[in-house]
Chain A
Amino acid sequence: MKLKAFFPFLIFCVISIALYVGLSLNPGEIPSEFIDDPIPEFSLPVVGGEEVGLTTADLKNEEGVVLVNFFASWCAPCYVEHPFLMELQKRGYKIYGVAYKDKAHATNRFLKEQGNPYFDTAADNDGRVAIEWGVYGFPETFIIKDGVIRHKHAGPIMEMQFEDEFMPILESISK
Protein backbone atom coordinates (compact mmCIF):
# COMPACT_ATOMS: atom_id res chain seq x y z
CA MET A 1 0.00 0.00 0.00
CA LYS A 2 1.48 3.27 -1.08
CA LEU A 3 0.76 6.67 0.30
CA LYS A 4 0.58 8.01 -3.24
CA ALA A 5 -2.54 5.96 -3.89
CA PHE A 6 -4.37 8.01 -1.28
CA PHE A 7 -3.96 11.28 -3.17
CA PRO A 8 -7.20 11.01 -5.12
CA PHE A 9 -9.06 10.27 -1.92
CA LEU A 10 -7.50 13.19 -0.07
CA ILE A 11 -8.17 15.62 -2.91
CA PHE A 12 -11.75 14.46 -2.94
CA CYS A 13 -12.02 15.09 0.82
CA VAL A 14 -10.88 18.67 0.33
CA ILE A 15 -13.43 19.18 -2.44
CA SER A 16 -16.20 17.73 -0.28
CA ILE A 17 -15.40 20.10 2.56
CA ALA A 18 -15.45 23.03 0.16
CA LEU A 19 -18.78 21.90 -1.23
CA TYR A 20 -20.18 21.52 2.25
CA VAL A 21 -19.15 25.04 3.16
CA GLY A 22 -20.46 26.18 -0.19
CA LEU A 23 -23.93 24.90 0.62
CA SER A 24 -24.35 27.53 3.29
CA LEU A 25 -23.25 30.37 1.01
CA ASN A 26 -25.47 32.27 -1.35
CA PRO A 27 -23.69 32.51 -4.69
CA GLY A 28 -26.16 35.06 -6.02
CA GLU A 29 -25.61 37.59 -3.30
CA ILE A 30 -22.97 40.17 -4.07
CA PRO A 31 -21.90 42.47 -1.27
CA SER A 32 -21.84 46.18 -2.02
CA GLU A 33 -18.56 47.73 -3.02
CA PHE A 34 -19.52 50.86 -1.15
CA ILE A 35 -19.63 49.62 2.44
CA ASP A 36 -18.21 52.39 4.64
CA ASP A 37 -17.82 54.65 1.62
CA PRO A 38 -19.54 57.99 1.24
CA ILE A 39 -22.65 57.80 -0.95
CA PRO A 40 -22.00 58.43 -4.66
CA GLU A 41 -22.68 61.87 -6.11
CA PHE A 42 -26.11 61.99 -7.69
CA SER A 43 -29.14 64.13 -8.26
CA LEU A 44 -32.59 62.75 -9.02
CA PRO A 45 -35.82 64.45 -10.07
CA VAL A 46 -39.11 64.00 -8.26
CA VAL A 47 -41.51 61.36 -9.52
CA GLY A 48 -43.21 62.62 -12.65
CA GLY A 49 -41.40 65.94 -12.79
CA GLU A 50 -38.26 67.76 -13.77
CA GLU A 51 -37.46 69.53 -10.51
CA VAL A 52 -34.76 68.12 -8.24
CA GLY A 53 -36.12 65.58 -5.78
CA LEU A 54 -33.20 63.91 -4.06
CA THR A 55 -29.46 64.61 -4.08
CA THR A 56 -26.33 63.47 -2.32
CA ALA A 57 -26.49 66.56 -0.13
CA ASP A 58 -29.99 65.70 1.12
CA LEU A 59 -28.78 62.37 2.42
CA LYS A 60 -25.56 63.79 3.82
CA ASN A 61 -27.41 66.37 5.82
CA GLU A 62 -29.55 63.75 7.50
CA GLU A 63 -28.94 63.26 11.20
CA GLY A 64 -28.94 59.68 12.34
CA VAL A 65 -29.75 56.58 10.30
CA VAL A 66 -31.76 56.59 7.10
CA LEU A 67 -32.68 53.78 4.73
CA VAL A 68 -32.65 54.11 0.95
CA ASN A 69 -34.84 51.68 -0.92
CA PHE A 70 -34.68 51.09 -4.67
CA PHE A 71 -38.01 49.80 -5.93
CA ALA A 72 -40.31 49.68 -8.93
CA SER A 73 -43.98 49.05 -9.44
CA TRP A 74 -43.19 46.38 -12.04
CA CYS A 75 -41.01 44.42 -9.64
CA ALA A 76 -42.85 41.52 -8.03
CA PRO A 77 -40.61 41.09 -4.96
CA CYS A 78 -41.20 44.78 -4.19
CA TYR A 79 -44.84 43.98 -3.49
CA VAL A 80 -43.68 41.25 -1.14
CA GLU A 81 -41.55 43.55 0.97
CA HIS A 82 -43.82 46.56 0.84
CA PRO A 83 -45.94 45.79 3.91
CA PHE A 84 -42.78 45.43 5.95
CA LEU A 85 -41.54 48.82 4.76
CA MET A 86 -44.84 50.24 6.02
CA GLU A 87 -44.14 48.55 9.31
CA LEU A 88 -40.65 50.06 9.44
CA GLN A 89 -42.11 53.47 8.83
CA LYS A 90 -44.41 52.88 11.78
CA ARG A 91 -41.43 51.96 13.91
CA GLY A 92 -39.99 55.35 13.11
CA TYR A 93 -37.42 54.60 10.40
CA LYS A 94 -36.86 57.25 7.81
CA ILE A 95 -36.89 55.63 4.37
CA TYR A 96 -36.11 57.30 1.08
CA GLY A 97 -37.54 55.61 -2.00
CA VAL A 98 -35.98 55.58 -5.44
CA ALA A 99 -38.36 54.43 -8.17
CA TYR A 100 -36.23 52.64 -10.74
CA LYS A 101 -37.21 52.96 -14.41
CA ASP A 102 -40.85 53.31 -13.58
CA LYS A 103 -43.58 55.37 -15.17
CA ALA A 104 -44.68 58.18 -12.87
CA HIS A 105 -48.33 57.20 -12.89
CA ALA A 106 -47.44 53.58 -12.14
CA THR A 107 -45.26 54.64 -9.19
CA ASN A 108 -47.96 56.89 -7.86
CA ARG A 109 -50.61 54.24 -8.17
CA PHE A 110 -48.33 51.70 -6.52
CA LEU A 111 -47.78 54.02 -3.54
CA LYS A 112 -51.45 54.88 -3.37
CA GLU A 113 -52.62 51.29 -3.40
CA GLN A 114 -49.89 49.74 -1.29
CA GLY A 115 -49.31 52.68 1.02
CA ASN A 116 -46.39 55.09 1.04
CA PRO A 117 -43.64 54.17 3.50
CA TYR A 118 -41.24 56.76 2.14
CA PHE A 119 -40.26 60.06 3.66
CA ASP A 120 -39.49 61.20 0.15
CA THR A 121 -39.50 59.54 -3.26
CA ALA A 122 -37.38 60.31 -6.31
CA ALA A 123 -37.34 58.80 -9.80
CA ASP A 124 -34.37 57.16 -11.46
CA ASN A 125 -35.82 57.25 -14.95
CA ASP A 126 -32.88 56.01 -16.98
CA GLY A 127 -31.48 53.74 -14.27
CA ARG A 128 -28.13 55.51 -14.18
CA VAL A 129 -28.15 56.36 -10.49
CA ALA A 130 -28.89 52.75 -9.62
CA ILE A 131 -25.73 51.75 -11.48
CA GLU A 132 -23.80 54.48 -9.63
CA TRP A 133 -24.94 52.85 -6.41
CA GLY A 134 -24.03 49.37 -7.62
CA VAL A 135 -27.63 48.22 -7.59
CA TYR A 136 -28.26 45.06 -9.59
CA GLY A 137 -31.49 43.51 -8.35
CA PHE A 138 -34.73 44.93 -7.10
CA PRO A 139 -35.59 45.78 -4.43
CA GLU A 140 -32.36 46.80 -2.73
CA THR A 141 -32.06 48.57 0.58
CA PHE A 142 -29.12 50.62 1.91
CA ILE A 143 -28.39 51.69 5.48
CA ILE A 144 -26.87 55.15 5.56
CA LYS A 145 -25.49 57.16 8.42
CA ASP A 146 -23.80 60.56 8.15
CA GLY A 147 -23.63 60.23 4.38
CA VAL A 148 -21.81 56.89 4.59
CA ILE A 149 -23.18 53.59 3.28
CA ARG A 150 -23.06 51.09 6.11
CA HIS A 151 -24.87 48.14 4.60
CA LYS A 152 -26.80 46.92 1.59
CA HIS A 153 -29.32 44.18 1.18
CA ALA A 154 -30.37 42.86 -2.24
CA GLY A 155 -33.83 41.34 -2.43
CA PRO A 156 -36.87 41.93 -0.30
CA ILE A 157 -36.47 42.95 3.34
CA MET A 158 -38.74 41.08 5.67
CA GLU A 159 -38.89 40.72 9.42
CA MET A 160 -36.30 37.94 9.34
CA GLN A 161 -33.70 39.77 7.23
CA PHE A 162 -34.24 42.88 9.27
CA GLU A 163 -33.69 41.13 12.59
CA ASP A 164 -30.73 39.03 11.45
CA GLU A 165 -28.98 41.43 9.16
CA PHE A 166 -30.03 45.00 9.85
CA MET A 167 -30.49 45.07 13.61
CA PRO A 168 -26.88 44.21 14.53
CA ILE A 169 -25.62 46.93 12.18
CA LEU A 170 -28.19 49.46 13.30
CA GLU A 171 -27.30 48.78 16.93
CA SER A 172 -23.57 49.03 16.35
CA ILE A 173 -23.77 52.33 14.46
CA SER A 174 -26.19 53.99 16.83
CA LYS A 175 -23.73 53.57 19.68
Chain B
Amino acid sequence: MNKIMIVIFWLLMGTSAFAVGVDEKRLSDPAEEARAQEIMKQLRCLVCQNQSIVDSDAGLAKDIRIIVRERILAGDTDQQVLTFMTERYGDWVLLKPPFDGATIILWLSPLLLLGVGFIIIIRNQRNRKMATSAPLSDEEQKRIAQLLNENGDN
Protein backbone atom coordinates (compact mmCIF):
# COMPACT_ATOMS: atom_id res chain seq x y z
CA MET B 1 0.00 0.00 0.00
CA ASN B 2 2.67 2.34 1.13
CA LYS B 3 4.83 1.76 -1.87
CA ILE B 4 1.94 2.16 -4.27
CA MET B 5 1.14 5.50 -2.71
CA ILE B 6 4.68 6.67 -3.20
CA VAL B 7 4.63 5.54 -6.80
CA ILE B 8 1.39 7.41 -7.43
CA PHE B 9 2.94 10.40 -5.78
CA TRP B 10 5.92 10.33 -8.11
CA LEU B 11 3.76 9.86 -11.15
CA LEU B 12 2.01 13.07 -10.19
CA MET B 13 5.28 14.72 -9.34
CA GLY B 14 6.61 13.87 -12.76
CA THR B 15 4.25 16.35 -14.34
CA SER B 16 6.22 19.17 -12.86
CA ALA B 17 9.65 20.51 -13.62
CA PHE B 18 10.11 21.71 -10.07
CA ALA B 19 10.78 18.62 -8.01
CA VAL B 20 12.99 19.19 -5.01
CA GLY B 21 16.42 17.86 -5.75
CA VAL B 22 19.93 18.28 -4.51
CA ASP B 23 23.17 19.19 -6.20
CA GLU B 24 25.07 15.96 -6.13
CA LYS B 25 28.25 17.13 -7.72
CA ARG B 26 29.58 19.75 -5.41
CA LEU B 27 33.11 21.00 -5.76
CA SER B 28 35.45 19.05 -3.53
CA ASP B 29 37.50 22.11 -2.64
CA PRO B 30 35.47 24.06 -0.04
CA ALA B 31 36.99 27.36 -1.15
CA GLU B 32 35.96 26.74 -4.75
CA GLU B 33 32.49 25.62 -3.69
CA ALA B 34 32.13 28.81 -1.65
CA ARG B 35 33.12 30.84 -4.70
CA ALA B 36 30.56 28.95 -6.77
CA GLN B 37 27.89 29.69 -4.17
CA GLU B 38 28.73 33.39 -4.23
CA ILE B 39 28.48 33.50 -8.01
CA MET B 40 25.23 31.56 -8.01
CA LYS B 41 23.73 34.04 -5.56
CA GLN B 42 24.31 36.74 -8.17
CA LEU B 43 22.58 34.91 -11.01
CA ARG B 44 18.89 35.25 -11.53
CA CYS B 45 16.82 32.16 -12.03
CA LEU B 46 15.42 32.68 -15.51
CA VAL B 47 12.25 30.74 -15.05
CA CYS B 48 11.20 31.81 -11.61
CA GLN B 49 12.25 35.40 -12.28
CA ASN B 50 12.66 36.67 -8.77
CA GLN B 51 15.01 34.28 -7.12
CA SER B 52 18.65 33.52 -7.53
CA ILE B 53 19.57 30.16 -9.01
CA VAL B 54 20.77 29.08 -5.57
CA ASP B 55 17.21 28.98 -4.32
CA SER B 56 15.44 27.24 -7.15
CA ASP B 57 14.41 23.76 -8.08
CA ALA B 58 13.74 24.73 -11.68
CA GLY B 59 15.56 22.54 -14.17
CA LEU B 60 17.27 25.43 -15.89
CA ALA B 61 18.56 26.73 -12.56
CA LYS B 62 20.04 23.31 -11.81
CA ASP B 63 21.72 23.21 -15.21
CA ILE B 64 23.21 26.64 -14.70
CA ARG B 65 24.47 25.62 -11.26
CA ILE B 66 26.25 22.71 -12.92
CA ILE B 67 27.76 25.04 -15.52
CA VAL B 68 28.96 27.48 -12.87
CA ARG B 69 30.74 24.67 -11.02
CA GLU B 70 32.23 23.33 -14.24
CA ARG B 71 33.61 26.70 -15.23
CA ILE B 72 35.15 27.24 -11.82
CA LEU B 73 36.74 23.83 -12.02
CA ALA B 74 38.05 24.79 -15.45
CA GLY B 75 39.79 27.73 -13.82
CA ASP B 76 37.55 30.63 -14.78
CA THR B 77 37.59 33.77 -12.66
CA ASP B 78 34.33 34.92 -11.06
CA GLN B 79 34.00 37.62 -13.68
CA GLN B 80 34.53 35.13 -16.51
CA VAL B 81 31.72 32.97 -15.21
CA LEU B 82 29.39 35.95 -15.00
CA THR B 83 30.41 37.04 -18.49
CA PHE B 84 29.68 33.56 -19.79
CA MET B 85 26.13 34.01 -18.55
CA THR B 86 25.64 37.58 -19.74
CA GLU B 87 26.88 36.64 -23.21
CA ARG B 88 23.97 34.24 -23.45
CA TYR B 89 21.24 35.91 -21.42
CA GLY B 90 22.24 39.57 -21.18
CA ASP B 91 22.67 41.76 -18.12
CA TRP B 92 19.22 40.61 -17.13
CA VAL B 93 20.62 37.50 -15.44
CA LEU B 94 22.70 39.53 -13.04
CA LEU B 95 20.86 40.17 -9.79
CA LYS B 96 23.46 42.79 -9.03
CA PRO B 97 23.24 45.37 -11.79
CA PRO B 98 26.65 46.18 -13.29
CA PHE B 99 28.16 49.47 -12.21
CA ASP B 100 28.16 51.54 -15.39
CA GLY B 101 27.10 54.91 -16.75
CA ALA B 102 23.42 54.10 -16.63
CA THR B 103 23.29 52.39 -13.25
CA ILE B 104 25.54 54.86 -11.47
CA ILE B 105 22.50 56.89 -10.46
CA LEU B 106 20.97 53.76 -8.99
CA TRP B 107 24.04 52.82 -7.01
CA LEU B 108 24.56 56.34 -5.76
CA SER B 109 20.88 57.00 -5.05
CA PRO B 110 21.16 56.45 -1.29
CA LEU B 111 23.98 58.98 -1.04
CA LEU B 112 22.35 61.47 -3.40
CA LEU B 113 19.00 61.33 -1.61
CA LEU B 114 20.67 61.64 1.78
CA GLY B 115 22.59 64.65 0.53
CA VAL B 116 19.49 66.33 -0.84
CA GLY B 117 17.65 65.60 2.40
CA PHE B 118 20.43 67.10 4.49
CA ILE B 119 20.54 70.25 2.39
CA ILE B 120 16.79 70.69 2.68
CA ILE B 121 16.88 70.21 6.44
CA ILE B 122 19.78 72.59 6.97
CA ARG B 123 18.25 75.26 4.75
CA ASN B 124 14.91 74.94 6.50
CA GLN B 125 16.55 75.36 9.88
CA ARG B 126 18.47 78.41 8.71
CA ASN B 127 15.37 79.99 7.17
CA ARG B 128 13.44 79.48 10.35
CA LYS B 129 16.11 81.05 12.48
CA MET B 130 16.20 84.06 10.20
CA ALA B 131 12.44 84.30 10.14
CA THR B 132 12.02 84.13 13.88
CA SER B 133 14.78 86.41 15.03
CA ALA B 134 17.30 88.91 13.89
CA PRO B 135 20.75 87.35 13.79
CA LEU B 136 22.44 87.33 17.15
CA SER B 137 26.01 88.20 17.78
CA ASP B 138 28.37 85.37 18.72
CA GLU B 139 28.44 86.68 22.24
CA GLU B 140 24.65 86.50 22.53
CA GLN B 141 24.52 83.08 21.03
CA LYS B 142 27.03 81.73 23.50
CA ARG B 143 25.02 83.18 26.33
CA ILE B 144 21.85 81.56 25.03
CA ALA B 145 23.54 78.26 24.59
CA GLN B 146 24.71 78.45 28.17
CA LEU B 147 21.25 79.25 29.45
CA LEU B 148 19.66 76.52 27.42
CA ASN B 149 22.19 74.05 28.69
CA GLU B 150 21.45 74.93 32.24
CA ASN B 151 17.70 74.52 31.81
CA GLY B 152 17.71 72.02 29.05
CA ASP B 153 19.10 69.12 30.96
CA ASN B 154 15.73 68.37 32.28
Binding site for B on A (CB under 8 A): 28, 30-31, 33, 74, 101, 126-128, 131-134, 136-137
Contacts and interface: CB of A to CB of B under 8 A. Distances in A.
Interface in B66-89: 67, 86-89
A131 B15 CA distance: 22
Contacts of B64: 131
Contacts of B60: 127, 131, 136
Interface of B: 15, 17, 46-47, 49, 59-60, 63-64, 67, 86-90, 92
Q: What is the interface of chain A mostly: helix, strand, loop, or mixed?
A: loop
A165 B58 CA distance: 29
Contact of A33 (B15, B67, B90): B90
B17 A33 contact: no
Given A28-B49, A137-B47, A127 B59 contact: yes
B90 A131 contact: no
8 contacts: A28-B49, A33-B88, A101-B59, A127-B59, A127-B63, A131-B63, A131-B67, A133-B88
Given A74-B17, A136-B46, A136-B47, A128 B89 contact: no
Nearest to B15: A74
A131 B88 contact: yes
Contacts of B92: 30
